[in-house]
Amino acid sequence: MNLVQTVEWAVIAPPVIAAFTAVAVLLADLFLPAARKALLGPLAAAGLALAALSLLPLRDGDRSTFCLPDDPALCAYSADRFAVILQLLVLGGAFLTVLLSIPEANGKRVPAGEFWFLLLSSAAGAALLPAARDLATLIIALEVTTLPAYALVGLRRGSGAGPEAALKFFLSSVTATAVALLGIGFVYAASGSLFFDGIAEGLDEADPRLSTLAEAGVALTLIAFAFKMAAVPFHFWVPETYLGAPLPVAGYLSVVGKTAGLAGLILVTTEAFPGHGDLWGPLVAVLAGLTMTAGNVAALRTDPRAPNSAIRLLAWSSIGQAGYLLVPIAAAAYTEEGAGATVAYALMYGAVNLGAFAVAAHVARQRPAHRVDDYRGLWARQPAAALAMGFFLLCLAGLPPGVIGLFAKVAVFETAVDAGLGVLAVVMAVNVAIALYYYLRWTAVLFQPAPHGAAEPDAPRRLPAAPLTAAIGLAAGVGIVLSGAPQLILTFASGTLL
């Protein structure tokens, strides 16, 4: 067999541009004097913007590369609509993360060159992953996304919690990856292929004596992606990692890292293992129910007066949101229109969750204890920041004026009902009600008067740093546009995406 593959550089431009920008930033860091290292952040942002613009020629979603000459249908990289939309989400999330990180890097809290290189490298892997169409490329992209994240978590100078959080993140992630590699070995043994189309065909035609091996491989392969999405019981690393990491890195993991796991899970279930829906469908449904319940109940029990309660609540909220994202994937085992709703929900979640982290990063510059109660009286001190945070929280809760959050939840709920997953739909409805309490509690704190004697005379004059202002504005703008045109979400959820 001829294994020489063709390459179309325009098709692979998004991850390649991000990777080249990472190398350019690292080289520039070697030669720039200390006084000019602040230019590295804008350079990283420009590279990500250029990578996102390179998606424009691919918007028709019908181009592939790294195809086998003897079988052009087998390609390792495909820029279809699914890949392009998730690449846009990944690169947009990384761009917002750069804006959040500029004050941190310019404040000498992290080594600038290494920080931008690691962030861009991880973004390149996350941009590659949705376009992967074989298990080898998929697992490599997943590790390229994750390996720099370990270092990013523990990179802050003088942080005692960072290295410990990075180590916990590393050990649990490596274990999950090792289990997934074992599963991939089983799948290859049963199907004889690493390409998704070849696996789907090979498993259907496999020797019946290999059925147990194939089923074990399918289940084990899902573990790595469940870990990246922080699905229960693979979620224990999230609160400690978010607390130990720099706040922009925590926001990055909550959106871009989760999107990478989401993309991988959709690909292996719907593309590689469509004939085993009776196995992974109930499994993902159980994971969805457990994940949303564990995340929301833990967030509900978070004491708003405790140190770091704001970050801890965002961490548990992220886990709860992962449960909602899993619902349409479970439904995809029984209907062809499930995965589109997951992507639609991810678009909403990515914009507003990074927006919430941007406001948290701003408040943390004044109140480093990271308590939810630190937001009390924010409306009186900084009305714009309070309005933005309230809007983001209401979007996550699914309440007006966060109309986009409401429509995204309705789309996800509809997929569960259409697939006959009535029990999961009821569990989701209960969890949405639970989440309303802690989202509304935090929103109410924004507009309550500050405790007597706690007001700061100069607080109204403390505006967010310009990059933070831009990040908050961009996230709010996306949320407002989508809330004004929720039919965009309905289009994705209708099944036209995949």
Dihedral sign, CA of 239, 130, 115, 56? negative
Is position 175 within any domain?
Answer: no
Give the C-alpha separation, 258 to 70, whole Å: 36
Q: Which amino acid is at 418?
A: D
**pLDDT tens digits in sequence order for the chain, 498 residues long:** 555 667 788 899 999 999 999 999 999 988 888 888 888 999 999 999 999 999 999 887 778 888 877 777 788 898 888 899 999 999 999 999 999 998 888 777 788 889 999 999 999 999 999 999 999 999 999 999 999 999 999 887 766 777 888 888 888 888 888 998 999 999 999 988 899 988 998 888 878 888 889 889 998 998 878 888 888 888 888 888 999 888 999 999 999 989 998 999 999 998 889 888 888 999 999 999 999 999 999 999 998 889 889 999 999 999 999 999 999 999 988 887 667 888 888 988 999 999 999 999 889 888 888 899 989 988 988 899 999 999 999 999 988 888 888 888 988 998 999 888 999 999 999 999 999 999 999 999 999 887 665 545 444 445 557 888 899 999 999 999 888 877 776 665 554 444
Considering the domain boundaries, does residue 363 fall inside one? yes
- The answer to whether position 119 is within a domain reads no
Element (H, E) at 74: strand 71-80
Cα(493)–Cα(414) distance, integer angstroms: 9
Q: Name residue 388's amino acid.
A: A
H or E, element range at 68:
strand 62-68
Q: Is residue 434 part of a domain?
A: yes
Q: Is residue 385 part of a domain?
A: yes
Residues 404, 479 contacting (CB under 8 angstroms): yes
Q: Is residue 62 part of a domain?
A: no
| Side-chain half-sphere CA neighbours of 288 within 13 A | 28
Residue 338: domain span = 276-498
How far, in Å, CA of 40 to CA of 48, rounded? 13
Q: Does 328 map to a domain?
A: yes
Alpha-carbon distance 149 to 171, whole Å?
13
CA distance 429 to 417: 12
Q: How many domains does the structure of the chain reveal? A: 1
pTM, two decimal places: 0.92
Backbone phi, psi, residue 156, to 5°: -65, 135
